Amino acid sequence: CAACIWLNEKHLRTLNGIIDVQINYSTHRARIKWDDLVLKLSQILQAVTDIGYIAHPYDPTRQQEVLERERKQQLKRIGIAGVLGIQVMMFSIALYAGNWYGMATEFKSLFHWLNLILTMPIMFYCAEPFFKTAWRDITHGQLGMDVPIAIALSLAFLGSIHAIFYGGHVYFDSITMFVFFLLTGRYFELQARQRGARAADNLVHLVPTMATRLLKNGIEEELVLVADLEIGDKLLIRPGENIPADGIVLTGKSKVDESLLTGESNPITKNIGQKLIAGTVNIDSPLQMQVNKIGTDTVLSYILRLLEMAQTEKPTITQLADRVASWFVFGVLLFAIGVAIYWWNVSPEIWLTTTIAVLVVTCPCALSLATPTAITAATSNLTQVGLLISRGHALESLARATHFVFDKTGTLTKGRLNLLVTHTFTDFNQTECLQYAATLEYHSEHPIAQAFKSKTSYFMEANNVINHPGAGMQGLINDEYYFIGSPNFIMKMTGLSIGSQLLKTLQKNGNTLVLLAKIRSNNSNIKTPKLMAVFMLNDEIRAGAKELIQALIRQGKSVSLLSGDNVSSVKRVATEVGIKTTGASLTPADKLRMVKDLQAKGEIVAMIGDGVNDAPVLAQAQVSIAMGNGTQIARTSADMILLTEQLPNLLIGINTAHRTLQIIRQNIIWAIGYNLLALPAAAVGLIAPWMAAIGMSLSSLLVVVNALRLTVKS
């Protein structure tokens, strides 16, 4: 429960060397940061054991075994409580009938003793988890949700034993019924929570346990554990097999299904030299691959870490609910004491049943479940459409965003630029200019860089290479400084004056211009800048870009396009997708300033751009979305990452964010409203203990089921 989470987090934070602790109630996983020079993992696990809990390093196979063992144990307790409870109810019906029609004292005493004997296994075995958790919480100075349940059961059981010896009403039927209903409710709640987190579990099981490794002769094969793979190993991937590690294709051509990882429904054709991602499925033909990333370094492992982080981090609305829940049980116990005192003086015969009902009917669990179950369900569902949530606050911030700012290259456009024309202004020919350009761009991951690197296989040695994000590159080649980038960057770095008419002529069709220049020194050490070439590139607009922009505008959102590209190119894209507010030839600092200006006007900004080159602007926005891929996903710090080429999937994310907030509000309103209605009703004797047990169980279950609506695609 929330108290268990609070207790574990608080206890671990007292350890010297702990940096941060976040525990996810829905998945029962903890994310812990610590200084391994000060604290060992074994000490952390022992600290958890010391307060009565069990923890172990995350292992999906072991987790499944634990969950299955827990499920079987729960079913066993439910079965015993149900079978014995039915027999107790049969004897209780006979006792109730005896109260109306008369019953011999010896038979009444016999039925009481039989009910006591039948109830004891329910109290000491079936209800054991309630008592163990309550005792653990009390001994550590915390009031968890099982404390009032344990008190209620103890009062009912001891009161019934007292009644057997000294006369009065017995409550064995109530005990058996609400233990049965509580166990049943928690079982269904557990199953529902696991269903909400199933998408993440599906990702865990994408990587196979075995792989076919090729020996040095390239012909013989051996079957090895994936855990034993090493970087540089050559593997054979047959059709239908999951790829066990990240790497590149050595031989063969085949289609690969990346749908579970990126949400792409269509298989992707992989040729020699192209990247393969662990967890994806080879479909058509055999492939030979070389491993370059294994274990926790793979893209899939990074995605799982981000997903776990998003489900564990607590947004503002969660922190508020947790603070309320932490004081809730204390308030309920005080209220129950007041109710007991009142009825003891007014109507002693019902003080015990009323007090038990008050203790049982309360449901702080529903309040604690309200947010984490919704966040877990939403993040798991969005992962299936290729939208990875990496920060807990992302959905809350996205739902409240009022202004969406887009980058151009690689965001609204495909980011696969084509080199159309090369104009040279030097003795070097087009091929030589391209080689100099590619040598500098070799050190960049920007989409423009890919256009140059794909055109040549010859790269020279470059030293002192400096990347100016969003502007260009510089480096020392053959003892001369070379620069490549936007016209503004080249003029600023070299002092060249480039005629505006020339630039306008080259840009007239909305093409992107990239200039190559160098600075050479003569014998007198006089530095002379020289324009070497102007490259003209173009980029296709991404499918679905216009659909996304128009949908945002219809929702009343403001939309801007901020780009480092030239005015003509930006205007072409903006006109085609329907954006009216634009900014061109901007540096990252310019973009940052403009986003700050929007925020100063009260806008909640969502920034969508290149996760690497737009890092400062992404960090400034209230919520950031990066266009991710296998090469750069691990280098972005954005709040959300779109793994798929389907830009309209962002709409699914926005709509899901709105639905998530709506469901969280519904859950919190229900949790508070239920307790506001149920507590007074129980206090005045309108709710019997067994009814209280049903109400408590249904309250928690309703919250979880409501959150599961987020797993249904709308």
Non-local (6+) Cβ contacts of 391 within 8 A are: 309, 310, 313, 639, 640
Task: Single out the residue of 590, 586, 626 nearest to residue 606, CA to CA.
Answer: 626
246 is known as an active-site residue: no
According to DSSP H, which parts of 197-315 are helical?
198-204, 259-262, 299-312
Order across the sheet with 268-270: list the strands.
268-270, 254-257, 281-282
Q: Residue 622 has what DSSP assignment?
A: S
Task: Single out the residue of 364, 354, 301, 306 nearest to residue 332, CA to CA.
Answer: 364
Using CA of residue 304, residue 306, residue 309, residue 313, what is the dihedral sign?
A: negative
- Rounded-to-integer distance, Cα 52 and Cα 55, Å: 10
Residues 470 and 587: beta-carbon distance below 8 Å? yes
Non-local (6+) Cβ contacts of 4 within 8 A are: 53, 133, 137, 144
For 612, the token pair is: 């690497």
- Rounded-to-integer distance, Cα 583 and Cα 575, Å: 13
Order across the sheet with 403-406: list the strands.
387-389, 640-642, 623-627, 605-609, 403-406, 558-562, 581-583
Tracing tokens 């699914």 back to the chain, one arrives at 652
- Rounded-to-integer distance, Cα 588 and Cα 618, Å: 10
Q: Residue 222 CA to chain centroid, in angstroms?
A: 37
- Rounded-to-integer distance, Cα 258 and Cα 264, Å: 6
Burial bucket for residue 211 (CB in 10 Å: 0-12, 13-18, 19+): buried
In total, the chain counts a number of residues equal to 714
Quick check: helix, strand or coil at residue 634? helix
- Rounded-to-integer distance, Cα 351 and Cα 614, Å: 66
The active-site residue, picked from 407, 539, 610, 639, is 407
- Rounded-to-integer distance, Cα 416 and Cα 64, Å: 42
Tracing tokens 């690969």 back to the chain, one arrives at 256
For 322, the token pair is: 């947790």
For 75, the token pair is: 């079913």
Tracing tokens 């982080």 back to the chain, one arrives at 309
Residues 143 and 3: beta-carbon distance below 8 Å? yes
Residues 472 and 489: beta-carbon distance below 8 Å? yes
What H or E segment, with its residue span, contains residue 401? none
- Rounded-to-integer distance, Cα 423 and Cα 507, Å: 13
- Rounded-to-integer distance, Cα 491 and Cα 57, Å: 55
Residue type, 177: M
- Rounded-to-integer distance, Cα 562 and Cα 406, Å: 6
Residue type, 537: L
- Rounded-to-integer distance, Cα 149 and Cα 688, Å: 14
- Rounded-to-integer distance, Cα 356 and Cα 691, Å: 11
Residues 536 and 513: beta-carbon distance below 8 Å? yes
Task: Single out the residue of 255, 242, 254 nearest to residue 202, CA to CA.
Answer: 242
* Residues labelled catalytic: 407
